[in-house]
Structure formats: C-alpha cells, structure tokens
Structure 1
Amino acid sequence: MAIDIQQIGKRFRFYTSIKELEMPQLLEMTGSDESVLSNILSGKNYLLDELVAIVKNFPDLNTQWLIYGEGSMFKPMDENGTCKDNHKGCLKKDKAAYLKQMQNMLIELDAAEVAKGHHADVDALKAKLDEYKASHPQG
C-alpha cells in the first residue's frame, strides 16, 4: 500500500483539530521545527523520520490510521477511559461545538478519500462519533 503524504497531512490536521492543538502547542509538545510541522500538516515534502519523531509525542494517536487511513483515529481505551498504553485522555470530552467540527471534518476527509480513490473506514469513524454523541448528551 502506497503512503500518501497529503492524506497523512489531512489526517494529522484532523487529529490536531479534534485535540484542539494549535501550532504553538504543537511546537512545545514536539520540540520540532515550525517548518517541518507546517509541511506535515499541509502534506508537503517531509521525511518519514520527521513524522515519526513528531507522532511519538501523541500516545493516543493510532499511527495505522494516520499513515494508511485504517482503523480508528485513537488507540483503544480500556473501561476506565485510559488508553491501552496507560495514557489518560485519549479524547477530550463533552464539547458540542467540537463534535460539530468533527462531523464537518469527517465530511471533508471522506470527500478527500473518495477523490483519491481510497477506501478508508470513514463510516466507522462516523459511527464512533454517533456513539460518542449518544453517550454524552449535549446540554
């Protein structure tokens, strides 16, 4: 399976939006150069080593999803809401505006995947979003 750096950029941008991470926070968290982060987020040329160095700072991010669009965006959580690799807070909770933004970004990501001829499991992401909304009523 070919790696598409533009799709990786879109997925990473989607992830950082959901986590509400802006460039200053990303720079602080990763210790990376702004131009490298910018290139990854925009899907421009970058080295895989640069991506790996940045992604290791996000323990809840499923790298299989990031790189190939397969599976869930987040690593599985146990019954206590802890990521299986013992990191708390895989996903911020209880934010209605944030759920709406997630829906809009899923639509955009789905369109990009279809345009590229990819068959990512966007329906599974939508189902997870619906499940999350059902278990966290707004208001």
Structure 2
Amino acid sequence: MAVDLQQIGKRFRFYTNLKELDMEQLKTMTGSQEETLANIISGQNYLLDELVAILKHFQDLNPQWLIYGEGSMFKPMDEDGHCHDHQKGCLKKDKAAYLGQMKNMLQELDAAEVAKGHKPDVEALKAKLDELRATES
C-alpha cells in the first residue's frame, strides 16, 4: 500500500487538534523543529524516519491509522481498561465551537479517504462528536 504524505498530514492535524496541541506544545513534546512538524502537518517535504521519530511521543496514537488510514485513531486500551495516553487534556471552554471544528475536519478527512476508495473508521467518531455537542446544548 502506498503512503500518502498529504493524508498522513491531515490525519496528524486531526489528531493534534483533537488533543488540543499547538505548535509550541508539539515542539516541546517531541523535541522536533517547527519546520519538520509544519511539513508533516501540511503533508510535504518530510521523511518517514522523521515521522516515526515523532510518533514515539504519542502513546495513544495508532501508527497504522496515521500512516495508512486503517483501524482506529487510538491504540486499544489495556486489560485494565486504561488508555495508553499519559497526556489527557481537557476540552477548551468553547466546547461547541471546538466540536464543530472537529466535525468539519472529520468530514474533510472522510471525503479524502472515500475518494481514495478507503472505508475509513470515522463514523463512530462523528457520532461521538454529535453526542458531545448534544450534551453541550
């Protein structure tokens, strides 16, 4: 299966937006230069070795999903039901706007995956965002 750098960038941008990580936080977490991170997010001019080096800093991110668009965005929970995410954060105060932004990104990502003939696993995420939005209203 071919690797699509732009799709990886869109999925990484979706993940970092979902986790509410800005560029400064990404630089601090990964020790990477802003140019490298910006290139990954924009889907151009980076090596997969750079991506792999950055991925090790995201314990809950499923690399199979990020690179190929297969499976769930997050790694499965362990036997005790704990996620492997040690950096959980809270949603921003304007949750409705945030959830709307995430839904738009999901639709963009979904359309790109469908255009390539993939059947992405984003329906569950859309439903969860709708559910969270409903609880905020």
TM-score under structure 2 length normalisation: 0.81
SS in 1 for 2:119: coil
Tell me how large the CA RMSD over aligned residues is.
Answer: 2.7
Distance 1:69 1:49 in 2: 18
Distance 2:85 2:23 in 1: 26
1:34-81 CA deviation, whole Å, 9 max, x = no partner? 111111110002111100111111111111110111111122236977
Aligned to 2:4: 4
**Taking structure 1 as reference, are residues 82 and 99 closer, same or farther at Cα in structure 2, changes over 3 Å only?**
farther
The aligned amino acid for 1:60 is D
Aligned to 2:135: 137
Is the Cα–Cα contact under 8 Å of residues 36 and 46 in structure 1 kept in the other structure? Answer: yes
Number of residue equivalences:
135
Shift of 1:98: 2.4
Is the Cα–Cα contact under 8 Å of residues 20 and 91 in structure 2 kept in the other structure? Answer: no
Runs of 4+ in 1 over 4 A off after TM superposition: 78-81, 91-94
**Taking structure 1 as reference, are residues 54 and 25 closer, same or farther at Cα in structure 2, changes over 3 Å only?**
same
Shift of 1:9: 0.4
Q: Is 1:118 the counterpart of 2:121 in the alignment? A: no
Aligned to 2:76: 76
The aligned amino acid for 2:132 is K
Q: Is 1:49 the counterpart of 2:49 in the alignment? A: yes
Is the Cα–Cα contact under 8 Å of residues 60 and 85 in structure 2 kept in the other structure? Answer: no
